[in-house]
Amino acid sequence: MQKNDIKNLIIKLTDELNYHADLYFNYDKSEISDRDYDEKLKKLQELEQKYPEFKMQNSPTFRVGGEILSGFNSVKHEIKLLSLDNTYSKEDLIEWENKLQRIVNDKISYFCEYKLDGLSVALTYENGVFVKGATRGNGINGEDVTENLKTVRTIPLKLKKDIDIIVRGEIIMKRSVFDKINSIEKIFANPRNAAAGSLRQLNPKIVSERKLDFMPYDILKTDIDFKLHSQEYKFLSELGFKPENNAKKISNISEIIPFIEETENKRDSLDYDIDGIVIKVEEKYLWDELGFTNKAPRFAVAYKLKARQEITILKAVTLQVGRTGIITPVAELEPVNIGGVVVSRATLHNFEEIKRLGVKIGDKIFVERAGDVIPKITAVVSSSEDLFAGIIKEPKLCPVCLSLLKREEVFLKCVNSECPAKNLRKIQHFVSKAALDIEYLGEKTVEMLVSTGKIKSFSDIFKLNKNDFENIEGWKEKSVNNLIESINEKKNTSLSRVLYGLGIEGVGEFIARLITAKYTNIDEIITASSEDLENINGIGKIVSKNIVLYFNNSKNLEEIENLKKYINIIEEEKNINSLFSGLNIVITGSSDKYKRSELEGFIKKIGSTPQKSTGKSTDLLIYGEKAGSKLKKAQELGIKTISIDDFIEQGNFK
């Protein structure tokens, strides 16, 4: 082959591979098999090795990582990478705004961005080509991590415009990636540590496997004169970057409160960690005039969201027996305040998890609390220096009934059907919110009633009377009346609540509703065969077998007969026959008529599944106002879309 032909072949392979990578990563589509892609990539790699002079600056081979590095060189930042002052309350923000208004007379508006919890880097492009990337370091000097950054697929190797520019942004690891990586490999405490640890890897091939991401938020240097920060933010997308897409313009600080609330609500459903909001003065031409405090600019400030993770000490591990017999090791902690809530217990999930974490009693650990989720231990910070620090041993016997435990995958299980701990949990589940929802019958009360022998089974609840509470501390006439009344209120309960309340393994609220959409009374379910049950869309072999086994047990049947004497199990409202039943549905955008949770409720009610993000399995996307990239992506993927209003009208919800 002539040299020129080789050059052309390299260009062709580069373009082709970049095209397919773009389709795959940005549009979830593929027009070529993985094998063909790998073959072409290998071919390109071989050619580039032989003819390095022809290697393109946007070669996809950069993405898979090259030579192992011996270390990172220190680099001086052309423009200092400043940090931000923190604020913690609305009052702090108003004070900040007042200070700004004392300095400048112009009307100030703001651009609010999520504060991404990763690590800051500066990327230098010359003539549109990525030439250098450095960590923030101390803001003046950082480390040259260019080769590692080239593996980050959301960092364009070549911009869509041939300009000189320095872009600042955050390297993050998406939660979904973190969960996958952390389950098989070494333990990182959180996605931020994983991102930082990965970026400082000396082997760029490993960095490539860590699937890091980059989100830009600032232009440090350019010839273009942007009047507004939002224009700059938008320009970053035009260059080929993927900025975080929840940023919002507000016209004064009082509008920040709804944005903070919205952010708190969205926080758990994002695929990346955020630890605050960055509020920037939108009028970029005022930035210089506003000046600096000792270490930070005045034009921006960080509003910190409540912490999710703190460090504390593991004091002991106790064992909890669940409703299905699964033994959960529970961490007893030195109490610690996490974002305003004192946490003194956390789950350790199972004994495999204890091994994976390598945690011992006495260790300093990270504990995380997010939303309503039970706090969990995410990593060991440092091991106890005490030589006698406790190794946590796997139990052999159930801590309550002392029967031999059985191993089921990663779990240890008490299989004794008479285990008192399991029975207690079953009753607590039966009265819980999603099941019979008996107000005033909380877990502690059930525990008291079970331990004093007043209730042994579900039906015993309905036999309770005032005398049962005589001489029981803390139970005055009023509270007893409240409880008896709330029990009476549940004497008419829907079939799906009862079915869910029975606590059959694998029968969650959703599955219960799928079953009651087909069967109208409990006797039909009792006599259903496993084939009948499996025929229901969404119910698998294991669950249907569990159901049949449950109703083959004479004790269970006897209990249901007893229950029927006290409660009237009412037929389910049927609206599963919606045009949109049995689908995977994504919601995007907003509606002033329906809340997000309400729409999700409708979706579940018709036997469909709400999904968080659009992917291959998505059947339908419903969109409201201000629907953004998700709608575009769905349309590109050929997924059916419908407006929220049409969805309600055509969905037979009424």
What positions carry a catalytic annotation?
Answer: 115
Q: Which of 128, 133, 204, 297 binds ligand IVH (CB under 6 A)?
A: 297
Q: From the CB of 90, what's the least distance to ligand IVH, in Å? A: 20
- Orientation angle between helical segments 509-518 and 596-605, nearest 10 degrees: 40
Q: Does 44 bind ligand IVH (CB under 6 A)?
A: no
Residues in the chain: 654
Q: From the CB of 295, what's the least distance to ligand IVH, in Å? A: 10
Q: Which of 17, 166, 253, 300 binds ligand IVH (CB under 6 A)?
A: 300
Q: Which helix (H) or strand (E) holds 616?
A: none
* Closer residue to ligand IVH (CB): 114 or 623: 114
> Phi and psi at residue 409, in whole multiples of 5°?
55, -125
Q: From the CB of 82, what's the least distance to ligand IVH, in Å? A: 4
Q: Does 218 bind ligand IVH (CB under 6 A)?
A: yes
Binders of ligand IVH among 81-100, rule CB under 6 A? 82-84
* Closer residue to ligand IVH (CB): 84 or 499: 84
Q: From the CB of 104, what's the least distance to ligand IVH, in Å? A: 18
Q: Which of 56, 256, 302, 498 binds ligand IVH (CB under 6 A)?
A: 302
Q: How many angstroms separate the CA atoms of 210 and 112, rounded?
A: 29
Q: Which of 20, 40, 115, 630 binds ligand IVH (CB under 6 A)?
A: 115
Q: Which of 116, 253, 327, 348 binds ligand IVH (CB under 6 A)?
A: 116
Q: Does 460 bind ligand IVH (CB under 6 A)?
A: no
Q: How many angstroms separate the CA atoms of 262 and 51, rounded?
A: 53
Q: Does 282 bind ligand IVH (CB under 6 A)?
A: no
β-strand partners of 585: 610, 620
What letter would DSSP give residue 590? B
| Assigned token pair, 143 | 């480390």
Q: How many angstroms separate the CA atoms of 211 and 154, rounded?
A: 10
Q: Which of 593, 526, 530, 536 is nearest to 560 (CA)?
A: 526
Report residue 285 CA to chain centroid gap. Answer: 38
Q: From the CB of 255, what's the least distance to ligand IVH, in Å? A: 18
| Strand intervals (E) in 307-375 | 309-321, 327-338, 341-347, 364-368
User: Between 132 and 171, how does the x/- string for binding to ligand IVH read (CB under 6 A)?
Assistant: ----x---------------------------------x-
Question: Using CB under 6 A, which of the segments 146-154, 295-303, 339-347, 369-377 binds ligand IVH?
Answer: 295-303
Q: Does 217 bind ligand IVH (CB under 6 A)?
A: yes
Q: Does 123 bind ligand IVH (CB under 6 A)?
A: no
Q: Which of 232, 227, 233, 230 is nearest to 251 (CA)?
A: 230
* Closer residue to ligand IVH (CB): 120 or 516: 120
Q: Which of 47, 60, 75, 113 binds ligand IVH (CB under 6 A)?
A: 113
What stretches of 452-491 show up as alpha helix (H) in DSSP? 477-489
Q: How many angstroms separate the CA atoms of 200 and 477, rounded?
A: 66
Query: What Rg, from alpha-carbon coordinates, does the chain have?
Result: 30
Provide CB contacts within 8 A for 336, sequence distance 6+.
310, 311, 312, 342, 343, 344, 367
- The site for ligand IVH (CB under 6 A) is made up of 82-84, 113, 115-116, 120, 136, 170, 217-218, 278, 297, 300, 302
